A and B are shown apart, each in its own frame.
Chain A
Amino acid sequence: MKDHPLILEIKGNSLDDGPGIRSVVFFKGCPLSCIWCHNPESKQRDVEISFDSKQCIACGSCRDICTRDALSEKNLYYINRNKCDLCLECVDPCPTGALEAVGKKMNVEDIVATVVRDKPFFDTSQGGVTLSGGEPLMFMDFTSDLLKSLKAAGIHTLVETCGLFSFSAFKDKILPFCDQVYMDLKLHDTALHQQYCGTSNELILENLLALHKLSIAGNLEFLTRIPLVPGITDTDQNLSAIASFLKENGIGQVQMLNFNPLWAEKCAKVGVAYPFENKPEMQKWLEPEKLEACKSIFLKRGIEVL
């Protein structure tokens, strides 16, 4: 298949990614490159190698195997990614799992076989499967096949998306097999969006409205989610602009996603610098008062906050 994605992980028993008990399939690869991305390992499409210094017991098993001399405690993130050719020969001998391959090739049948084991839990809790990422809609054909198979197995489906996709492809390939969509809206201002997320947001805003129309027509359930990033997305200006935009377009419901400071260590694992090293506000959760203030911006305009 031409757009076969890698899968990062299938996480079972999630209660935070849609209704009921869900399994979440994380895709690898995303068209945006948000500076705060909590899943830095999901940005690239290709396989990567990660190293967790906390788990390493310095047994040297990996160094004995590496033919490229890419592994050393002297390297900033242990792995010299300039030398490493991603042969991944060092992963299996690592006794602790400190070294891991990031991204695994799975076909649709493998994924369905994995998640279907939890179908009894979906059934009792009205849960199902959530596709997340990364960006599942970067891989329209694969995602379409996957959703089709999940629906054939009688499983409720939900797609989490950044909103950057071709709507006509969505309508053809995704909509028939998708029960629910969660879409993130980060920044309303196009320039800022370009600055922080690496792309313009015009298509995203367009898609948001198109999805909303589908939901009004009863074709799918739809929810807008706003990730709160201190000083970037949680500003009065941004949230007010988003709120007005939603209000104008008749969208009456949003969900806030609190900033999670715990992702910093994920950066080091895949060998990238944590971009907010010197920003104290990025090292903690948002204060409850701040959260309330953010919410009130929407409530004021009659928009329900979940």
Chain B
Amino acid sequence: MLFQTDPSLNLASDKKARKSRTHYLIKFLLRLMAVNFNWRPSKKQYLKSDQGWIDSTIGIRTRNGSITTAIQIKDGKVKTLSKVPENADAVFVLENDDVVKEVLKDASAMMVMMLKNKLLIEGNLNYPLLFGYYISLFTGAPEKTKDRKELASPEATHKTELDNRKKDLLKGEKVDPGVKHLSDPYLSEFSLEDFPRLAEYLDIHFTKKPEICHERPKLLTDWYKQNGFEKDNDGNPWVPELRQANAFKYLMENRKPIIRRGDLIAGTTTTREIGVVVYPDSSGSTIWSELNTADSRELNPYHISEETKEILHREVFPYWIRNRSFREWVREKYNNPVCQQLDERFAVYFLWKTVALSHTIADFPKLLSKGSQVIIEEIQKEMETDVSSDSRKKNPLEAMILCLEGLNAYAANLSKQAFEEAIGENDPERKKELANLGEICARVPKHPCRTLEEAVNALWIGWVALHMENTNAGLSLGRLDQWLQPYYEADMEKLDSAEEREVYIEKAIELIGCFYMRCTDHLPLVADIGNYLFGGSSSDQAITLGGQTPDGEDAVNDMTYIFLKVTEMLSLRDPNVNARYVPGLNTESYLKRLCEVNLITAATPSLHNDNAVLASLEEFNYDPRDARDWSATGCVEPTLSGKHLSHTNCMMMNMVAPLEMALNNGFHPLMKWKVGPDTGEIEKGDFKTFEDFYEAFLGQFKFLIDQSVELNNMLGEAHTYIRPTPLLSSLIEGCIENGRDVTWGGAKYNSSGAACIGLADVTDSLLAIRQLVFEDKRFTLEQLKGAIEKNFEGDEVIHNLILNKVSRFGSGSSEAVEMADRIAAFTHDYFGSKLNFRGGPYTAGFWSMSNHVAFGSLSGALPSGKLAEKAFTPGLTPSPVASRNLLDNIRDVAALNPRNMNNNMAFNVKVVPSSQDSHEQTVENIYSYVKTYFDLGGMQMQLNVVTSDMLRDAMEHPEEYRNLIVRISGYNAYFVTLNKELQTELIERAEYGI
């Protein structure tokens, strides 16, 4: 093999093992494939890219060698080999012959086999994707399963229970000091019916199938083919920043300027109405094998035109296949390190850095208030005045200028487009709007914004540009209420009469509504396997509202309430709305409104306690003004807006994996890999006390953290080479002064954040072991291990003792809180002892996206009583069996020490309003819980205001619930787009009547 691999895989591979019948079957099928490629020109043409033949060698073997074969494609000729050659690009390693039988029966089983580690891939992951594409040429698209979206008819509506929540809206009082012009800050007189434009967009959002767009990858790949990637046309190595900047500028100058029909905001992320963006430099080629099938997959299908398929297969993916993605660059440079192999087994950690370095927040206030032209001048001045400015500093600065010029070029094209459309427009109203857009885009983002509509358009154009440079995965918008309020106030000052102001407020709501709908114009590219790992997630563009100003004043303003009104009316999963609440500073009226919006939308905004978040950041000695200016990123994580490359979701760490490894002396049961250190054997009686076992857990956890950090740092380096981001750098404080790209650590503040998943499950497991094994001696650790391995079958006594006798986290037990704090403190301290590639610290958060389900399904039964393959609890939410009393949950979570959670947390609470209570009373009830939780010091809380019956009903009748959003862990999703496992997890969450 090319690379070092898990030695356990090589037991008998190339020995003369007896070949099985399946071996001959596989060989036969590969031969059939070879004959077809060699003799049928209609198939053979797919072996060629626009750069020539695509060569590849793919091996297939079982662990014991019962199957060993390969297919080699070279210069357009295909042949089968009876051995797997040393230089194979990739090898499928199967656990045994049965895997083949399963996959032949049902192709979709392949994904499950991969997740369950029954089918592994050694080597470059892009080649198996290409191979998958070849197979689809023969098998064709599978029979079309009924697309859930197609089931939805435009008439489909909410169930009445949800509709009723929109009746009798509360009126607010003008009590927040920052609210200037709203007499009813709750804006209760408005509803979606007042905004036909938004209603139409919302309908399209729910009915239009997303389509993969090739514009970005094609234009960029064209440029690289012309100008080189590793070396320029003169044969000199490219400076990566300059290469990216030139390519970016080319992209921005040449992409199609589009103004959506009827929109008040110009520009689109893709050329499709709802487009899926392809980033071949990160994980874009994961869709290669699905080009012919993604249209008919069950979950979140994508339309792909024939043209797009051709372009991606022939012109784009082959160019990136070998080592031009982050993942493959690391594999080649570091020889397929163990830390990378662990990542690719799905079960212990997942590094988002393979996809993006984008969980951060740009300095939009600077772009809006100064304009890109002034920023260019600032950069030029920096280049001139800093005499120490050598090429190391000069090149990144020059790259920033090129990118800002690209941004301006796109805006200029939009302006031209708007004027052209205005000329051809017959409707006089729309004609005016288009001409206005032409004026706006001619001015911004190049020059300072003066009005709210200029600011919103500049924001959007900047947002599109950032997504042309960087993957749409968690890049976040920040404190938009704070940043837009000055333009709103400036507009208001020009208005004389109360009537004019009323009209303006309605316009402002519509404009922000259009902005939300713009944010839904793109989706991240998710390979089908991702539907199971990250179900239903969009790109998680977090908006943050409320809280305090950098000076510590109440920050709630008119725009806060306008954003909340839009959030309430549209009930979108994305943008992901987060609200900051400062106990003792923000008003009750504001917090009540947050509760009301949660009731009406069922799941948003997510609620944060500023005091706890700031306490969690204290250790870094950030400038307090910067710290108070934090925004949520992706899901919930804090980034100091515009100054901080926080990559707050660099990885998702499975905290249960080290527990399973501690029970097995470093062996991971699902991976069947003794990868961790020796930490003691239960069978040999190595654990005399609970502390002995706890040490073993820490030993395995340290090992996994070490590995994940090692890989994250390698990937950090890969970003500097494959995809530095000069545009983002120009909009993050520090990069200009330092003359460094953000990927190199140019930002004022740097950190990397982990999402640590399964805290409640690990805490409960360790409590069960301490209490039942070591204190009460109800059974031995060996008996417990035996029970776990049998998934408690035949061990009902042990299982029930665990379920009924342990004071779990969330039961109102101070010992359980101490245990959770102890584990969280270790996690925080150990991650905190590491530095990332950019020189910043690691932070630890306890939220899970949807990976509590994915990691749960890849883990066995646990000492906590969890059954094999069942989900963990979301974020750090207590287990549903912890207590029947919601207050116990709330008190225990609030009691956790925020200092251990500097990458935030997610506490899910599912509440069910009583049908007897009025709207007002229900809001009061929710408010009582939320307010008290915050008074007790709780950091974050997110609500699902639904019933399990409603969710079950939605599983049966997805068409009736197309817009039912649910909070997973940190992000929102449409319930009906989720995989069954996630839907079940949501239903099984504890449910509390209020």
- Assembled-state Cα–Cα distance A238/B924 (Å): 37
| Contacting pair B797 A12 (CB below 8 A) | no
Q: Are A15 and B925 in contact (CB under 8 A)?
A: yes
Query: Counting chain B CB atoms within 10 Å of each CB, which of A20, A59, A96, A117 scores highest?
Result: A96
B483 within 8 A of A: no
Give A10's nearest chain B residue, CB to CB: B885
Contact among B797, B801, B925 for A125, CB-based, below 8 A: B925
Stretch at the interface among B189-197, B262-270, B931-939: B931-939
Render A90-108 as a binary contact track against B, CB cut-off 8 A, 1 for contact. 0000011100000000000
Question: In the complex the two chains form, what is the Cα distance from A128 to B699 in whole Å?
Answer: 47
Q: A57-B800, A59-B796, A120-B935 are in contact. Are A13 and B805 (CB under 8 A)?
A: no
Q: Which partner residue on chain A sits nearest B891 by CB separation?
A: A117
Q: Does A61 contact B (CB under 8 A)?
A: yes
- Residue contact B805 to A124, C-beta cutoff 8 Å: no
Chain A interface mostly:
loop
Q: A12-B888, A13-B885, A13-B992 are in contact. Are A121 and B928 (CB under 8 A)?
A: yes
Q: Give the CA-CA distance A123 to B887 in the complex, in Å.
A: 13
Contact of B932 among A15, A59, A61, A124 (CB under 8 A): A124
* A13-B886 in contact (CB<8A): yes
Q: Give A5 Cβ to nearest chain B Cβ, in Å.
A: 22
**Restricting to A37-68, which residues have a CB under 8 Å from any CB of B?**
57, 59, 61
Residues on B with beta carbons closer than 8 Å to the beta carbon of A96: 800, 803-804
CA distance A71 to B803 in the complex (A): 24
Once bound together, how far apart are the Cα atoms of A59 and B797, in whole Å? 7
Cross-chain contact of B887 among A12, A20, A61, A95 (Cβ < 8 A): A12
Chain A 107-139 against B: per-residue CB contact (8 Å), 1 yes, 0 no? 000000000011011011101000000000000
Asked if B801 and A15 sit within 8 Å, CB to CB, the answer is no
Contact A57 B797 (CB under 8 A): yes
For A11, list chain B residues within 8 Å (CB): 885
B797 touches A121 (CB 8 A): no
Please tell me if B812 contacts chain A, counting CB pairs below 8 Å.
Answer: yes
The 6 closest A-B CB pairs, nearest first, are: A125-B928, A95-B800, A12-B885, A95-B801, A96-B800, A97-B804
Contact, CB under 8 Å: A118 / B887? yes
25 contacts between A and B (CB under 8 A): A12-B885, A12-B888, A13-B992, A15-B994, A21-B925, A21-B928, A59-B796, A95-B800, A95-B801, A95-B804, A96-B800, A117-B812, A117-B891, A118-B887, A120-B932, A120-B935, A120-B936, A121-B887, A121-B890, A121-B929, A121-B932, A123-B932, A124-B928, A125-B925, A125-B932
From A12, A15, A61, A124, B935 is in contact (CB under 8 Å) with: A124
CB of B932, distance to nearest CB on chain A (Å): 5
Which residues in chain B, 975-992, are within 8 Å of chain A measured between CB atoms? 992
8 Å CB interface, A1-34 against B:
11-13, 15, 20-21
Check if B993 is an interface residue, CB within 8 A of chain A.
yes
CB distance from A138 to the nearest CB of B (A): 26
Across the interface, which residues of B come within 8 angstroms of A57, CB to CB? 796-797, 800
Contacts of B992 in A (CB 8 A): 13
Q: Does B20 contact A (CB under 8 A)?
A: no
User: Which residues of B763-813 are within 8 A (CB) of A?
Assistant: 796-801, 803-805, 812
User: What distance in Å separates the Cβ of A65 from its nearest Cβ neighbour in chain B?
Assistant: 14
Considering residues B887, B888, B936, which has the most beta carbons from chain A within 10 angstroms of its beta carbon?
Answer: B887
Question: In the assembled complex, how far is the CB of residue A100 from the closest CB belonging to chain B, in whole angstroms?
Answer: 11
B638 to chain A, nearest CB (A): 25
Interface size class, chain A: 20 to 34
B914 interface contact, C-beta 8 A: yes
A-B interface pairs (CB < 8 A), number:
60
Known contacts A21-B928, A95-B804, A120-B936, A15 near B796 by CB under 8 Å: no
* Residues on A with beta carbons closer than 8 Å to the beta carbon of B890: 121
- A59 and B778 CA atoms in complex are apart in Å by 14
Main secondary structure of the interface of B (DSSP, over half): helix
- Report how far A12 CA is from B888 CA in the complex, Å: 8
Cβ–Cβ < 8 Å partners of B891 in chain A: 117-118
- The chain B residue sitting closest to A114, CB to CB, is B812
**Residues on B close to A: CB < 8 A?**
796-801, 803-805, 812, 885-888, 890-891, 914, 924-925, 927-929, 931-932, 935-936, 992-994
Assess whether B812 is in contact with A61, with CB atoms less than 8 Å apart. no
Q: Are B804 and A61 in contact (CB under 8 A)?
A: no
- Evaluate contact between B993 and A15: CB separation under 8 angstroms: yes
Q: Given the complex, which residues of A lie within 8 Å of B886, measured CB to CB?
A: 13
- Quick one: closest B residue to A97, CB to CB? B804
A interface residues, Cβ below 8 angstroms from B: 11-13, 15, 20-21, 57, 59, 61, 95-97, 117-118, 120-121, 123-125, 127
Cα A59 to Cα B805 with chains together (Å)? 16
- Which residues on the A side are within 8 Å of B932 (C-beta)? 120-121, 123-125
Q: How far is the CA of A61 from the CA of B798 in the complex (A)?
A: 12
Known: A15-B914, A118-B891. 10 other contacts (CB 8 A): A21-B928, A57-B800, A59-B796, A117-B887, A117-B891, A120-B935, A121-B928, A121-B929, A124-B928, A125-B924
- B797 and A20: CB pair below 8 A? no
Residues of A within 8 A of B796 (CB): 57, 59, 95
For B994, the chain A residues whose CB sits under 8 A away are: 15
Can you name the residue of chain A whose Cβ is closest to the Cβ of B916?
A16
Question: A96 CA to B805 CA in the complex, in Å?
Answer: 8
Across the interface, which residues of A come within 8 angstroms of B885, CB to CB?
Answer: 11-13
Contact, CB under 8 Å: A20 / B928: yes
Return the contact of A95 from the options B805, B928, B931 (Cβ within 8 A): B805
Alpha-carbon distance A42/B577, docked complex (angstroms) = 48
- Residues of B near A21 (CB, < 8 A) are 887, 925, 928-929
Tell me which residues across on chain A come within 8 A of B797, comparing CB atoms. Answer: 57, 59, 61, 95
Alpha-carbon distance between A127 and B914 when the two chains are bound, in angstroms: 17
Q: Determine the distance from Cα of A210 to Cα of B51 in the docked complex, in whole angstroms.
A: 98
Residues of A within 8 A of B812 (CB): 117
Q: How far is the CB of B481 from chain A (nearest CB, A)?
A: 26
For A21, the closest partner residue in chain B by CB is B928
Tell me the nearest residue of chain B to A126, going by C-beta.
B928
User: How long is the Cα–Cα vector from A61 to B927 in the complex, in angstroms?
Assistant: 46
Q: CA separation between A24 and B567, bound complex, in Å?
A: 38
Contacts of B804 in A (CB 8 A): 95-97
Smallest distance from the beta carbon of B154 to chain A beta carbons, Å? 35
Q: Which residues of B contact A123 (CB under 8 A)?
A: 932
A123 and B934 CA atoms in complex are apart in Å by 13
- What is the minimal beta-carbon distance from A117 to any residue of chain B, in angstroms? 6
Q: Which residue of A lies closest to B890 (CB)?
A: A121
Instruction: Tell me, rounded to whole Å, the shortest Cβ–Cβ distance linking B565 to chain A.
Output: 26
Per the bound structure, the CA–CA distance linking A234 and B431 in Å amounts to 70
Q: Which residues of B contact A125 (CB under 8 A)?
A: 924-925, 928, 932
A118 neighbours in B (Cβ, 8 Å): 887, 891
Asked whether A124 lies within 8 Å of B800 as measured between CB atoms, the reply is no
Looking at the assembled complex, report how far the CB atom of B992 sits from the nearest CB atom of chain A, in whole angstroms: 7
Q: In the complex, what's the smallest C-beta–C-beta distance from A46 to chain B, in angstroms?
A: 25
Cα–Cα, bound, A231→B914 (Å):
28
Q: Which residues from chain B contact A59 at a C-beta distance below 8 Å? A: 796-797, 800
A13 adjacent to B887 (CB under 8 Å): yes
The CA of A12 and the CA of B884, in the complex, are separated in Å by 9
How far is B994's CA from A148's CA once the two chains are assembled, in angstroms? 29
CB of B924 to closest CB in A, whole Å: 8
User: How far is the CB of B160 from the nearest CB of chain A, in Å?
Assistant: 17
Alpha-carbon distance between A179 and B973 when the two chains are bound, in angstroms: 46
- Closest chain A residue to B889, Cβ basis: A13
- Complex CA–CA separation, A124 to B894 (angstroms): 16
Inter-chain CA distance A118–B927, complex, in Å, is 15
Look across to chain A and name the residue whose beta carbon is closest to the beta carbon of B935.
A120
**Complex Cα gap A127–B936 (Å):** 17
The closest CB in chain A to the CB of B929 belongs to: A121
> Closest residue to B883 on the A side, CB-wise?
A12
Chain A nearest CB from B355 CB (Å) reads 42
Taking each of A15, A117, A123, which has the highest tally of chain B beta carbons within 10 Å of its own beta carbon? Answer: A15
Q: How far is the CA of A120 from the CA of B797 in the complex (A)?
A: 38
A95 to B798: give the CA distance in the assembly, Å.
8
Distance, CA A137 to CA B549, complexed state (A)? 55
Docked Cα-Cα span, A43 to B343, in Å, equals 61
